Amino acid sequence: MASSAAFFAFSAVLVALHLCCCHGQAADAAAGSSSADVTAIYSLGDSITDTGNLIKEAPPGMFETIKHLPYGVTLGYPTGRCSDGLLMIDFLAQDLGLPFLNPYLGKNKSFDHGVNFAVAGATAMDPADQFNGRFFAPFSSNSLNVQLRWFKDFMKSTFSTDEGNSPDQFHIRKRLQSSLVLIGEIGGNDYNYALFGKNVSEVEKLIPGVVRTIIDAAKEVLDMGANRVIIPGNFPIGCMPTYLTSKRSSSPSDYDSTGCLRELNRFAAKHNARLRRAIADELRPSYPAASVAYADYFNSFLALLDAADSLGFDASSARRACCGAGGGEYNYDWRRMCGAEGTAACAEPEKYVSWDGIHMTQAAYRAMSRLVYHGRYLQPQILNLAEAP
């Protein structure tokens, strides 16, 4: 990897372009809840959840590939989603009997059943908090704190009174009592940007700050009256084509039995362990009347890889990007990302887990949604959706 600052900055921009088990008192609180009680979803996060905010905000001439086919090819048109089609948040909304979430920055959109505040490329931490502000983090203006401010502004303006336009706290709390709030997945980009210029041991220093930012945001949402909150963990990033390509090793011992990079997966697991401990030790005891669940994206993704063939995927392509430059073991080249000249999308995205080397296909997001929200990877299970096969 080149060592110049310009290379790292450019690489980070390219990544940003496309990025985007404890049962405590909350389990008892969730026991009587029903998914039918959820009338709205409010989502904060990054490209895993963004349904169109980034392309609304992006300066002219940037992020053109996301705005055009082959992004959205399975739907027949681009939507601003970093995939060939739908995301996990879309399938969750369907399962709850709700419309797809419109992006907060969309104009003349209905927000009657929730709002999507997630922005592709967003970080959890503000840039000044990352390596004392000496670290290049593009699109840091869309950090979790910014999205949280959007969320608060939306709730205040939507539930304001006629007198002086002051917010009606009672109606805000009442609305949130019948809502589901997702905080994440977020934090992945903090690490993605840093890993282009620092080694894993250095980037691990970000974990406490990233987790603290997520937990503090959750506290603010819970203080506003939310009683169903889901906080996802990070993916096993050592299984992603982008890292399998950029961090390729000649030593077989650097890979696990699934063909993923051990060090990067251990790193992601450390983030998840700290996040889960904070949920169990801080959030659930402090908000015993609320249901706070951890969504285990890490182990559910590994389960998907393990059962790829039985889930309808081509097991031999489980770690290969559907859309890319068409070369190499993983079909990923940061110089020729999906949608750029010289790249092409595979004929059957539904057979692939990875869409562009960073994000997943609609088929994979559907499988993940079933594993998490209908299975054992939402801990505790607070939605009571029918268990999927």
Measured CA to CA in angstroms, residue 134 lies from 50, 120, 382 at distances of 27, 22, 40
Is 129 a residue of the active site? no
Would you state the structure tokens that stand for residue 127, as one six-digit string? 């840039």
Is 356 a residue of the active site? yes
- Tell me the residue length of the chain: 389
Do the beta carbons of residue 241 and residue 320 sit within 8 Å? Answer: yes
Q: How many helices (H) and strands (E) does the chain have?
A: 15, 8
Active-site residue (options: 113, 359, 369, 374)? 359
Active-site residue (options: 11, 47, 83, 140)? 47
Residue 365 DSSP label: H
Would you state the structure tokens that stand for residue 189, as one six-digit string? 């980009």
Strands laid side by side in the 40-44 sheet: 114-116, 40-44, 179-183, 228-232, 291-295, 378-379
Beta strands, E only, the chain = 40-44, 114-116, 179-183, 228-232, 291-295, 323-324, 344-345, 378-379
Is 140 a residue of the active site? no
Active-site residue (options: 84, 90, 129, 356)? 356
> What percentage of the chain's residues is helix, strand, coil (to nearest 5)?
45, 10, 45
User: Positive or negative CA dihedral for 196, 201, 206, 211?
Assistant: positive
Residue with tokens 């993940």: 368
**Residues noted as catalytic:** 47, 356, 359
